[in-house]
Structure 1
Amino acid sequence: MDNISSIIMFTFSGLDESWTNRLIIFVFTLLGFILTIVLNLTLIVIIILHRTLHEPMYIFLCNLCINGLYGSTGFYPAFLYTLTGSNMISLSNCVLQIFVIMTYSLCEFTNLTVMALDRYMAICRPLHYQTVMTRVTICKLLIFIWLFPCGTTGVSISIMLRYPLCGSHIDRLFCQNWALIERLACQEDIVKHIVNGSFFVWFNLLVAFLILCMSTCLPHLIALVNFIILTIFDALFGSRDGPKVLGKLMSVASIVIPPFINPIIYGVKLTPIRTQIKKHFQQIQS
């Protein structure tokens, strides 16, 4: 029986498609990657170029798009490489992908939460907004958005690597924390307590964040509900006892859909963003 000290390569067994189907999936995946990059970069550039958008709300939105690019680059290139026929990944690259995807997911939560708090202050406490949301406060919140997920993920991965692994076959499409913990860990009961406890804490926090968002504005609510639903379905159907096909689809959807749909939601719903995008397209056409 192998353990973590002897396992240096993992094998993905979640993709058993023919070369024709792989090619079709590759094309659509590549198009999705390109569209995700274009949509997020468009909002980032629009916000950076226009000083009227240098407000806390749009700064946090810009950070949300940066996080979307960060998460997409952690998934798409490796998945595209897997589709070319190589189902192997090294331990170090697998751990790196887990770190990127976990930090991306947690950054999504923290960023949307900070955006909701910003809107709450602007709508419910407008007289105190300017004195509270200073440049120093914005910088502190941006640091929190990234530092908390990175610290939490680092601790989680370090705990995970302390336990021996009894296998090297990952029945998923990429290196995912749930897959490694539940399918490869020898001391399954101990690790499950850690995972279930973490999930319980995050679920309760999400309920509180959702209630807060309902008192702010529609785009934040749509973005957060979308991400919560995908994450919960991934946790439910990505377990050992869940349907395999549905589990694989939900694990991918929780990473692919938010970075793609968030720029569309905010680009359509927020009038200042929509106005600037229209101006740029009119300038290009003329």
Structure 2
Amino acid sequence: MLKVKSVSKSYHRRKVLFECSFTCEPYQIMGIFGHNGCGKSTLFRIICGIIKPDSGAVIVEKDKVGYMPEQRSLLIDLTLTQQAKMLGKLRNLNETQTELSLQEMINTFGFGEMASKPIKTLSKGNQQKAQLILSMIHRPKVLILDEPFNGLDYLSQIELSRWIRIYAQKGNSVLISSHQLEHMDGLCDEILILDHGKTIKQGHLQSLREQHQQYSVKVNADSNWKDFNFAYESLSAVDSWIEVRFTTLNQAKRAVGIFLKDKSVQSIHLEMVALSELIQVCEH
């Protein structure tokens, strides 16, 4: 488990974190969101013990933390296997422990023969996978991933999302920052939103959705949207597609019922507020 208590940090008299507090429990995936420069990377480095906070405290077993930074920190002339052995020694693992952990990760990510090739000969996507493997060589209980989807193709991104869920389900805690919100939407249990170092919103994702609830009904219809009579929050029309937003589920259900009676309606989609929209609402 990870606890961050009122952590603050300044650089050259400029405050980049303001009394940040949260808890990330075992089995939990927490998404950290915010614009570039909002303090995410500083927060991650403080948790890892790379830098010290000016005030506050981080409660975690430092040797149980794994960190994959946004910027690659690989020794490109060495192979994955060589670097894993070096990191294993730094993490006080014996050769057998390192070998077993490395082989498990290689099998998980389909790395195979690439583990014996110099990092500089690998594609950007495989270099990203190598960095992830190295961050986990000691089987951390708290895993911090800063922009892990960068450099991965779409199928690899989906596979990584699936693997992160499995890793959390084994009793581990995962902190993850990413601008790939389509993957984060179905991944995070908890979220924390930073703005210029200040926490502007945090909590369980589903609870926050309910607090800022909107339902979107998308309809492909030939009829004029003005023919439909119901109360709504907002409405937009592009070609034959109509998107109507509601603040309550009952309103949305009523609209769906009306749409279903119209023979010109070809398809209907009922959606909850997306993570990207939720973040925008919280930031404003």
Q: What TM-score, normalized by structure 2, do the two folds share?
A: 0.24
Greater per-residue helix proportion? 1
Question: Higher RCO, 1 or 2 (CA under 8 Å, sep at least 6)?
Answer: 1
Which has a greater percent of strand? 2
- Greater radius of gyration (CA): 2
